[in-house]
Structure 1
Amino acid sequence: MTYPCPYCGAPANLETGCPSCGRGPDPDAAEVIRTDAEISVLIGELATARKAVSDLEVRISQAWQRRHKAAARVRLAVGAPPPPETSSRAVQNVLFTLGGLLLGVAAIVFTAVAWAQFGLTGRAVLLGVVTLVALAVPPLALRRGLTATAETMAAVGLLLTLLDGYAAWYVNLFGVADGSPARFAGVVCLVTVVIAAGYALVTGLTGPRVAALLVVQPALPLLVGPADPGPAGWSLTFGAIAALNLVAARRALLVPLAYVCAAGATLIALLPAAIAGIDTLRTARPVFHAAWQAAVPSAGWRLPAALALVAAALFLALPPRARPAALVAGASAVALALPAGLHLPWWNGPILDLVALVALVAALAPAGRRAAPALAPSAARVAALPAAASPSAPVAAASAVTFVCQVVAVVLLGAHALAAGFGRPGVAAGVLVAFALLGAALAVRGGNPVLADGGKIVALLSLPAIAWTGAAALGLAHPAQVRAVTVAAAVGLLIVAFTRAGAAALAAVPPLAVTLLVAETDLVPGAASLVVLGVIVVAAAVAGRVGPTAAGRGLGVAVAVAGGLAVALTRPAGSVLEAYTILGSCLALAGAFAAKRAQTPSWAAYGPALIIGLVPSLITVLTNDEGQQLRRLLLGIAALAILLAGAKFRLRAPVVAGGGTVAVVALHELGLVWELIPRWIPLAAGGLLLVLVAATLESRRRDLSRMRHALGRMS
């Protein structure tokens, strides 16, 4: 086998070695050449196999579609009942969710108002016993394999744990009400987090982990709040929360939720920097006439220092490949906060922004090249990467995150520099010159077509603005300013005409011209009418493509709903609303039963009747609280019955309509906790009913799964 000699590069083989330098055979060098050839063949085979798998998936999907259509025609011909619209698992999840919601709302209402009827000892014993019972149910349910039941009751038990803290404050247990309410709430949150984390460790449930992660978010701000930490203190507080969430994500604990919480805490931690940047803009007013000596209101030197510490904490908490994003965000925040932090004149803001911009633009091109595989619009670029386990794929993804952060930071700092620079025409001209130079640098050294075209657009659009602000800075009259802008625009058009890529800048002119035209001639209402007309045309085209049957059903639903609501709104004053809506609902329901076919969706068949019967009463309940107690109770019972009927027959429309109404009514009751009415009783009863029905359904599904496994082993 021939291979290049690793010492001199001459052709060598395993029999005689290298004839040029005289070294003996090198099996490792030969193995490298042989393995390279094998890898090339395997990559080709992998691509062929992936294409074959993709083709098979498409053919299987098409076969399933043909099978479903044929089965539907068979059922229609023999009059067989249609298949269920929802799965038993989906119905079970809906029932558990709504049952837990009703139980939680009932517990909150009971703790807030109704339990005042009991004595001090009775209150503590009752709420404590209920909490212990709720926390004792999940382990028993887990032993029977009822995981969803355990998750629901664990969530209710942890909510009751929080309410126990409120109860202790309400009765001033051990004098806790004599201190700060916010600090006590923070202590309660920390205790709940410890209980939830320990509970998750013992039971292995997911819900307590989610509860611990969510409840820990307000704990630290509640503890810090009474000390009045100021902007720097709040940045440090929320920066610590963001770092804690990132650590949880790195330890594979609820990764998506942890990253969402970390993103929210990071935005709040950087909010003082945005406020300091707004203070710089306010000091730079009025446009073209700001005072040179006007200093930005001081936020204190601690704010930039705190932002730097937050960036450092995020840098350490993030995975190594995502750490550049923390540096970009931290540098941008510090640049925005420095003028206010050091009490500098307003014109220092654009200078600091431009310094940060230069550094970001210098790093933008290599970041774009590293992120190209993840940002490429063509799937072929991604498919050309090595196998999914290759470390290059996560590198590209992390580089894409950093690249996007850099682009956002460039836009933010550039906009701030330009807005602040317009305090004086000379400063504005300097900022625009810097923009033009940075755009030209990107156009020449961007290394990416998108970056290069973006740089050319920025540079070309900066020319007329430089001419305008420069002429104003020199004190030229208005006609001279117009001539300068005209010459600069002509130069830009010549550049566009003599460079092919300059046509990208020309593409930015029509949107800008339309925007200016609308702003100058006040054409916004006309534009809105055109948008509405366009939406109507598109909707008509889509309706024409779905076919007359579906369009007719949709039109029938719309007409029935509109007619029912019109009757409800135009009823005689003083009459009972339900006397009209229930009649219309019953008529629509009777028509649905008479005209329903086997393949008619439940929304088309029962949707009008459900909407006519539920929506007017729900709107009345939400908009008028006076004397609506009986209506709320009856509406909730009716919605609960509709939900259970939909769960029984596995129909989507009753499940969604009834469940949505139950949820809205329950949340509305939560907003009326100040009324001393024991309405927590029907809420708790309804919640227990839904949880019991869902637990029964889960138990049946578990038994059915066990029977299937047993039959499978027997065969």
Structure 2
Amino acid sequence: MDNTLPPADELVLVDRELAQLDTRRSQLLARRAWLIQVLYPPVAAAAPLRPRPPVADSTPRSAQNVLLTLGGTLLTIAAVAFTLVSWGSMGLGARATVLAVVTGAALAAPVALLRRGLVSTAEAVAALGLVLMVLDAYALHRVALPETDGLGYTAVASAVLAAAWTAYGSALSRLRIPLPVAVAAAQLPLPLGVLAAGGGSTAFAWAALLTATADAAVVLWTRPVAVRITAGAAATALGGWALLTGGWLSLVSPWSGAPLLLAGAAVTLYGAWRVPAFAVAASAVAGLAALTAVGGLLRSALPADWAVPGYVLCALALASVWRLGGGAAAGDGVPGPGGNGSAAAGGAASRGAGSDTAVLPPRGIRLGLAGAGAGVAALGLVWALPPVAAGLLGPVARTTDVWSGEHAARALTSFPATAVLVLAVALAALATLPRLWARCGALVLAWALLTALPVSFELPYAATLALQLFTTAAALWIAVRPGPLTRGLRAVTAPAGHPGAPGTDTPDPHAAPREAGATTPEAPAAASAPTAAGPAAPPVPGPGTPWAAWAPSRPRAQAPAVEPGTALGWTAYVGGLASAVSAVALALDVRGATFAALGVVLALLAGVAVLGTDARRVVSACGAVLAATGLVFAVAATAGFEDHWTALALLLVPAATAGLGSRAPRPVALAVEITGGAVGVLALGIAASRPAFLALALALSGVIAAATAVRPERRRFASWTAAVLFLLATWVRLAVWDVTTPEAYALPVTVPALAVGFLRRRRDPEASSWTAYGPGLAVTLLPSLLAAWTDPEWARPLALGVAALVVTLLGARFRLQALLVLGGAVLALDGLHELAPYVVQAVGALPRWLPPALAGLLLLAVGATYEQRLRDARRLRERLARMR
């Protein structure tokens, strides 16, 4: 049986085997390189230590360029010196001969040098020839045409030189200097010719614009890079000067500046269309020029107050260019590394044969035009903001007394009323965009419009207050129920999570679908498998595989999404709070308005605290407490309360917050109670001028804190707060009664403290006596001891001694260290105080030598029994240590 394959099939089999062998060889070579790197790292580390040959300070080519540059410079200096100094000493024939010979030689020498391959030398000699041509033109004017106007002659000479240098550079294409120099010389003829003809700034600007247009044509239709760079720089400079001149003319003479600006915009826009790399910037400049032109014409035809609205309307119309094709036309490509692939792809797609859609500008051009329009519209909004600031901050900067019935003079009464029109037009434009940022911007503009209306239209006081309260109510309602404004919107993800950004896993929309588990030739499965030769080597990329595909995988974090309702709610909430503060400040002019404004604000903030979410509930609850505080102040002022009665009335606020805190959720309850506590501190500060009422206020505050301590989550803090407040109330009352006995201040602390310590010891027998009884005993015993040492009577020392004796005996009986130490120490010091006069009297009656003798005997006795006394001290310390 013959198993021989046909030649064609065998050839396919052989090619397949050879391809597999090549792949395996590549894998083995890569692993061999990796193994060598692992096994012999010192070889790679020692390589930099080998001696290197000395490096030359300069390369031969750089040295040659320096020499040629110096030589050309010296020859140029010599030619200038000859023309300016030695020219007049020669006759006419000699002059002509020198001009012809030197210039011709300098221009002809590069031809021979290029044939020999001496390009750099030819460049230097050619540069010298170009300089000589300029000197020849100067010399010709000085000798043959001295009466000719300098500007006109320079314009003609620069044109002739530009044409000659262009022809010369085109003939000798290997030279890089002549053509860029020709482009630079071509910038002078038109502007200088206009100046020579007596043209003004407008004519000069037109000449600069025409020259810039020619430069743009050179950039678009020439190949040498140096020529394009020179022409581009010249076009930017001259075109910028023309546009700036047009902008100045649009302010002083709009009908003269508009054609110039529109022509410049057309040229710039055409360049943006042809050069996608600069499409965004160039189209933005074109858009600004067009807006300046049209806006200037409108300004000249409209009243002065309508100038800014005219600019804004034109800007919004230009910004709407972005909406062509739904903001992202089908022809828009994917941006490449240059950042403007989209523009090129979009233009190509829109110009494609057989396209059924209209020709749309590329994405880069639309983006630049829209950016220019948006920037001008933003400037118009900035112009319209002063009425908003005056409407919001004017009531806060009060210049009249509270409830005086007089109103402060309005600010910005002379500001154009068309500012509200600018706000309204921008609001309408943003409201049409189905984007979250646009919806938030529209909400801000709506709030700003309502805030600016009273200032722009000089509304009366009642209407202004009503409009501010309406603005507050509308904003807070949207903060609670933003649903109607979120229609058509979706959650916005931060930049880290947008398609194509680092950290996102977005499939390539142009990639072909692939079945799960399928492998590709670029990623063989055996590339990363471990072998018997050692640990697994790094995967070996196959032919054509990008190295990024073999990088170790990293966790990709997705940025959290911003919910439209949350963004819109917070935007409206901030505006609502600002309007609420402004409305309350404005309402202080009139008593009835104050009650109305505070009541409305209290109801609105309470509603947000009940119906709202997240931190808005907490802030609104605190604001409601402050509004209630304002109402209490208003009621007290209306009733004619004195300060101390007002302070007692303010305690109603912390009492109410303590009651509400027991039913509100935890974050809201805590914030409300803290705000109520701050109001209570304010009440105590107001009552401080009348100590008797301060004691009453402290006692009532203690009652409120004690009632709050019933709640388990507030028990510890509220109970201590109540105890402190009751103690302060007692002390203030004692001070009012002129009580100076320290025990009257100390016993109200001692008794509760000992009771608490006793209960603590019952629950925890291991608790230290210092923790349970030490503070309570010290509060009474120590102040009484200090008072006893300065008391000439016998009653206090006797009572203190008896009390200290009882405490000491109780400490010895129940083995309580704190009672034994404190009671014994106070008893000893109190006894010493009582015996001190007698000791002093006895010492005074004894001979003077007896006290030193007794002291010496005592020291001898102690020294003789030192060991025994030390053991006794240790035993006493151990016994005390065993006590609680």
Q: How does the TM-score come out when normalised to structure 1?
A: 0.47
Q: How does the TM-score come out when normalised to structure 2?
A: 0.39
Structure possessing the higher radius of gyration over alpha carbons: 2
Q: Which has the higher contact order (CA 8 A, sep 6+)?
A: 1
